[in-house]
Amino acid sequence: MLTINYDSHEVFLRGKPVRLTPIEYKIICQLVKSEGSVVSSATLLHSGWGPDYRADPEFLKKYIHRLRCKIEQDPAAPKVILTERGMGYRIAKS
């Protein structure tokens, strides 16, 4: 389903390349490394923008939406990048 080549920084969905921005790539890598576990919004913001970045979690929601549009068959009913209300996000186990 979703695979990442960490050496070349490429992401593939069902064998086809997915074009991601550098920040989207960092976010998806953090989620995949924690597959099945919830990753807090703070951790994802740190992964994408660095430890000193302080942003409203609404900013992260926009990036998650963009990732879902690139990865999910139906971004309005996600099955890969899941929201855990009040906790963060997680990647569904494959």
Q: Is residue 7 part of a domain?
A: no
Domain assignment present for 78: yes
* pLDDT in 10s for each residue of the chain, 94 residues: 889 999 999 999 999 999 999 999 999 999 999 988 999 998 999 888 787 777 677 889 999 999 999 999 999 999 999 999 999 999 998 7
Whether 13 is in a domain gets the answer: no
| CATH number of the domain encompassing residue 45 | 1.10.10.10
Beta bridge partners of 16: 13
In a domain, 11, yes or no: no
> 38 in a domain, yes or no?
yes
C-alpha 5: how far from its chain's center? 15
pTM of the model: 0.90
Residue-range definition of the domain harbouring residue 72? 20-91
Token digits for 69? 């549009």
